[in-house]
Amino acid sequence: KEGKGIVPIAGESLGSPSVYGNDRLFVSISVGKLEGETDMKLKALEAAGHPVVYRTLTDIYDLGEEFFLWEIATAFAGWRLGINPFDQPNVQESKDATRELLEAFSRDAKLPEQSVVASDGMLTVYADDQTRAKLNTDKVGDAIKAHLARIRPGDYIALLNYIEERPMNEDYFEATIPTLTPSMSNYVEPLPAHEAVIQAIRTQLRDATRCATTTGYGPRFLHSTGQLHKGGPDSGVFLQITAPDIRDVPIPGEPYTFSVLKQAQALGDFRSLSTRGRRAIRIDLVTDALAGLERLQQLIGEAVPVAGATAK
């Protein structure tokens, strides 16, 4: 917040020293001594001059100590940066934008439309008017390439995923707690097929740009890294990924459904990013989420190829 912040990178696969800038601190948390490929990669990073912190746990129950340790570290970092680590003013900003969008839906029976930059039947790219003018194209691949061309050394790239995280089929719902609705399934673990492509995309982006990458599933990330996205330094390049829900259910007492609520949260988050002049586009996976993600992976690979990689 206040233009300051530390970007936490979780779940990014370890790479060779050549794919990282000089702005990283690596933390290894393991039960017992590290061995094998992970140990070798961390030692290679150390040898290349990257700082590496090792936390060795006696057993899995030592994770409780880690929670406490990193909470203290976060509070101390906030003090050192001169900011209050215990409030989240920009999270409320997104909530307010979402509320305005839902009020518009209640009045007009539809959510306000964003400006379309380009569409090819599988992917549709949206942006605010200022970004649309900067991208200056009506082709999806060129729009993504132009957006990624705005990445600067020291930036981080954030994939903001508002997509289904569970397989949408009858067997799943029959085996699920009755009160868990289809649209509420976004609060459980990621769908493996979607997650695999998302991880491949972030690895491609990191290896091609040497920038850090983050990924999170909305709307839950809004209460963690969502504060950093809006209130931190202007070093984020954002790709918000959305997809239509296959199934939907109404919300009792409200004129909108869970799917509309989720769409409003995504649009509210995007509006907050846009208001603060962040570099952001929204990519909608028009009909088939998995096919759309794979198409996005292909276009990103063409837009920012990894040096020395062999084209397939």
Write the pLDDT tens digit of every residue in 90-100: 888 888 999 99
Q: What is the mean pLDDT of residues 176-198?
A: 55
Name the pLDDT band for 310 (thresholds 50, 70, 90): low
Residues 6+ apart with CB under 8 A from 252: none
Assess whether pLDDT exceeds 50 at residue 183: no
Q: Global pTM?
A: 0.88
Sheet architecture: strand order including 279-285: 115-119, 123-127, 279-285, 236-242, 156-162, 212-217
- Can you give the pLDDT at residue 190? 57
Assess whether pLDDT exceeds 60 at residue 199: yes
| C-beta of residue 160 within 8 angstroms of C-beta of residue 221 | yes
Domains, in order of start, for the chain: 17-81 (no CATH), 89-303 (3.40.50)
Question: Tokens in use for 43?
Answer: 């030692």
Tell me which residue of 165, 125, 168, 176 sits closest to 148, measured CA to CA. Answer: 125
Tell me which residue of 296, 161, 181, 160 sits closest to 230, measured CA to CA. Answer: 160
- In DSSP terms, which residues pair with 151 in a beta bridge? none
Average pLDDT of every residue of the chain: 88
Query: pLDDT tens digits, residue range 101-149?
Result: 999 999 999 999 999 999 999 999 999 999 999 999 999 999 999 999 9
Tell me which residue of 279, 257, 259, 260 sits closest to 270, measured CA to CA. Answer: 279
For helices 140-148 and 289-303, what crossing angle results, to 10°?
A: 60
Query: pLDDT tens digits, residue range 43-91?
Result: 999 999 999 999 999 999 999 999 999 999 999 999 999 999 888 888 8
- Can you give the pLDDT at residue 312? 46
CA separation, residue 57 to residues 30, 70, 181 (Å): 6, 14, 38
| C-beta of residue 279 within 8 angstroms of C-beta of residue 233 | no
Tell me which residue of 243, 87, 88, 222 sits closest to 158, measured CA to CA. Answer: 222
Q: What is the DSSP string of 194-217?
A: HHHHHHHHHHHHHHHH--EEEEEE
Only one residue has tokens 């063409």, namely 302
130 CA to centre of own chain: 22
- Can you give the pLDDT at residue 85? 87
Q: How many CB atoms lie within 10 A of CB 233?
A: 15
The residue with greater pLDDT, 129 or 245, is 129
Query: pLDDT tens digits, residue range 18-38?
Result: 999 999 999 999 999 888 999
Residues 6+ apart with CB under 8 A from 70: none
